[in-house]
Amino acid sequence: MDQDQLDRFKHWFGEYTAGFYNDDAYVNANLQLKQEHTERTVQEIVLLARELGLSENEIRAAELIGLLHDIGRFPQFARYRTYNDPRSVNHCQLGVEVLRSEGVLETLATEERRWVETAVGLHGRKALPSALKGQALLFAKLIRDADKIDIFRIVVENYQQYRDDPEGFLLEIELPDVPEYTPDVLQAVLNEELIDSAKLYTLNDAKLCQLGWVYDFNFTASLRRIDQCDFLPKLFSFLPQDEQIERACRKIRQYVDTRLAAPG
């Protein structure tokens, strides 16, 4: 893929996503969030791809995957007014369907198209299939990390805005903002286990689950980025400060420090 091709994909993305904005402020605010998330995910995946020493062609493929990874979010929110997949549609699969029905990737080499479709289709899975190999696996890992880095940024900013002005907060808060958290969710964080989103009952559960994403980063470079941006202490500050939570926060901190100190 050359730069001209990549530029044409960027143009298509702009035109396609613009079609979902209307006179509904709630819809527009949520779509805008995804648009900004996409731009920053592109920056993160390119940074990561460069850090890993990928070729210029692979860096452009990574950039394209960053650009398209959440394309399914736009029709999802327009149709269902939620980003909650279980309550609406799997936005990753929907993304692949959009790319196919619009013929977006037809100009790509077969192999590159496969990288893009695989990465878009699998970026939200709890785990990647073990059969995935080679560059398809590499790109799937890259987008999962870049996506999470930016989601860390978004959740931290959203919790801050919501705390400052709960009445004026326009975006979707999916779980009840009550002081409780679920002991099993906290235990999963302590056990270095990933948590199924269906097991989350409160907003604090969601915050704990988000902390636990550190276990799922594929590249140490991604954890270094999380560390540089101070996302972990910021996220800690939005949780109730009790002994169990502090234990979970210490556990997360230790895990990250150990991985950052490990060679390679």
Positions in the binding site for Fe ion (CB under 5 A): 70
Q: Which of 61, 159, 162, 167 is nearest to 117 (CA)?
A: 61
In terms of C-beta distances under 8 Å and separation of at least 24 residues, what long-range contacts does 210-213 make, across chains too?
210/151, 210/152, 210/155, 210/235, 211/235, 211/236, 211/248, 211/249, 211/252, 212/188, 212/252, 213/148, 213/151, 213/152
* Min separation Cβ 225 and Fe ion, Å: 18
**Collapsing DSSP states into helix, strand and coil, what is residue 74?**
helix
Answer yes or no: are the C-beta atoms of 181 and 208 closer than 8 Å.
yes
C-alpha–C-alpha distance, residues 73 and 77, integer Å? 6
Q: Which is nearer to Fe ion, 97 or 227 (CB)?
A: 97
Q: Which is nearer to Fe ion, 119 or 138 (CB)?
A: 119
Q: Which is nearer to Fe ion, 70 or 145 (CB)?
A: 70
Q: Which is nearer to Fe ion, 69 or 251 (CB)?
A: 69
* Min separation Cβ 77 and Fe ion, Å: 12
C-alpha–C-alpha distance, residues 110 and 117, integer Å? 11
Alpha carbon 52 to its chain's center: 20
Task: Using CB positions, name the residue nearest to Fe ion.
Answer: 70
Q: Which is nearer to Fe ion, 70 or 150 (CB)?
A: 70
C-alpha–C-alpha distance, residues 119 and 141, integer Å? 8
Q: Which is nearer to Fe ion, 70 or 112 (CB)?
A: 70
**217 contact partners, CB below 8 Å, separation of at least 6:** 145, 148, 223, 226
C-alpha–C-alpha distance, residues 119 and 134, integer Å? 12
* Min separation Cβ 121 and Fe ion, Å: 11
Token pair for residue 254?
A: 């230790």
* Min separation Cβ 159 and Fe ion, Å: 19
